[in-house]
Chain A
Amino acid sequence: GAVVSQHPSRVICKSGTSVKIECRSLDFQATTMFWYRQFPKQSLMLMATSNEGSKATYEQGVEKDKFLINHASLTLSTLTVTSAHPEDSSFYICSARGTSGLEQFFGPGTRLTVL
């Protein structure tokens, strides 16, 4: 149980385009979802926290207008990178927490490459 999926697993796009990444909890209800970003050979940095039906809370330094997060249901959260640029190229990982509240379950990640 407690499976989180991400789609797509890999995406390549041109500079200036927008990219949407989906994160789904497959077998549990995710009251809270988190989005992390990981640069090569570095740790995971929290970008934002979202609760179902509420606006996301962004970490300091993360542009909310550039990284749009929607958590419209208890099983789906989306991250949209708007007007992507090469510096946005990174590995994006989502995680979800259910009603028990003690553990985060991670998706497999999405590799974004902006040309």
Chain B
Amino acid sequence: AQSVTQLDSQVPVFEEAPVELRCNYSSSVSVYLFWYVQYPNQGLQLLLKYLSGSTLVKGINGFEAEFNKSQTSFHLRKPSVHISDTAEYFCAVSESGNTPLVFGKGTRLSVIA
């Protein structure tokens, strides 16, 4: 069965600094990978997804992620963060179109002015 590990529960970073949120997955088969953002008391918003093709995926709000099959990772990056990026970020994996998404525990990104 697949699982997702988000190594950092909290990441504080200064405004305009770069950030990387780490995500590793465990699966015995090919996977589809996703990053979602959740603002307080709101639902999930899709940032980006990897389904196939290029391993570097660009998403909304200036975020990007790179799928690394050998390291079973899908780390999320942004070169310069804004205060408005403060939120909870979830990495998720699905093994196929028939299985539900499995989520990591989330990483709280706090951008400091």
Contacts and interface: CB of A to CB of B under 8 A. Distances in A.
A70 B22 CA distance: 37
A contact residues, range: 20 to 34
Interface string B31-57: 010101000011110100101000000
Interface in A33-50: 34, 42-44, 46, 49
Nearest to A107: B43
A102 B97 contact: yes
A42 B100 contact: no
Which of A42, A44, A108 has the largest number of chain B CB atoms within 10 A? A44
Interface string A40-74: 00111010010000000000000000000000000
A46 B98 contact: no
Contacts of B44: 44, 93, 106
Contact of A95 (B51, B96, B98, B101): B101
A100 B41 contact: no
Interface of A: 6, 32, 34, 42-44, 46, 49, 93, 95, 97, 100-104, 106-109, 111
